[in-house]
Amino acid sequence: MRLAIISDIHSNLEALTEVLNCIATLHIDEIICLGDVVGYGANPNECVSLIKDAVPYVLLGNHDQAALDLERTTQFNPLARMAAEWTNKNLSAESREFLSRAQYSIERHDLLFVHSSPYQPEEWHYIISPADAQFNFSYFPQSICFIGHSHTPVIFCEDIYTREVVPGKKFIVNVGSVGQPRDYDPRASFGVMDTGKWHYENVRVEYDTKRAADKIRKIGLPKALADRLTVGS
């Protein structure tokens, strides 16, 4: 079974389109989305529509939740809050209904998938450091937990040292962000897991960052949200 795991699209239609085009060439059996389909970018409804048609398993992200309920933005920074408010105002009834049905976690093929962390996934904790990962390993029995949320692709192993997915060890794998990477690589990021070969690969895809950024400026969201797309920060 070959799985494509995508996350943190953030209303970036240009990035999502190119990622789905790439996935179509990779002999993928199943696509799983770890959430945050909306937020930050200019095309929330278009992204929800694409995800609805292409992805059978979609999780809820904190920005999806905030777009449905602005009371959930209390911990957001000012830029994220402004984007959530704009998204809330512009989200269609169909998009709202779709996002409202998303779950916090799913298990597939003896793998766990969450947006933020296996520990209290509804609380949106970050796993950024090896210490964060070590704390979370006791909260899932599966061999691998796939996450997004931080927008930075990384592999954490229970033994601290291993940096590639191998059989017989336990991992937390962040697949990075499709629509707003933050590892100073502006290319869209997603993961491919081959459960037969037990092999994981992070895939990067170029897309039209300028077009996506221009659309953010055009709708009146902060310039910083547009500028970060071109540098991946």
CA distances 181 to 7, 28, 147, 159, 172, Å, are 10, 23, 14, 27, 18
In the chain, what percentage of residues exceed pLDDT 90?
100
Position 176 confidence tier, pLDDT thresholds 50, 70, 90: very high
Question: Hey, where are the domains in the chain?
Answer: 2-231
Write the CB contacts of 189 (distance below 8 Å, at least 6 apart in sequence).
153, 175, 176, 177, 178, 181, 183, 202, 203, 204, 205
Residues 107, 118: Cα–Cα separation, whole Å: 11
Backbone phi, then psi, for 4, in 5-degree steps? -105, 125
Question: Which of 3.30.420.40, 1.20.120.530, 3.30.565.10, 3.60.21.10 is the CATH number of 2-231?
Answer: 3.60.21.10
Neighbours of 53 (CB within 10 A): 8
pLDDT in tens, 188-198: 999 999 999 99
Model pLDDT, residue 184: 97
What's the gap between Cα 178 and its chain centre? 7
Smallest CA-to-CA distance from 221 within 84, 62, 77 is with: 84
Residues 19, 50: Cα–Cα separation, whole Å: 11
Mean pLDDT of 7-18: 98
pLDDT in tens, 115-127: 999 999 999 999 9
Position 95 confidence tier, pLDDT thresholds 50, 70, 90: very high
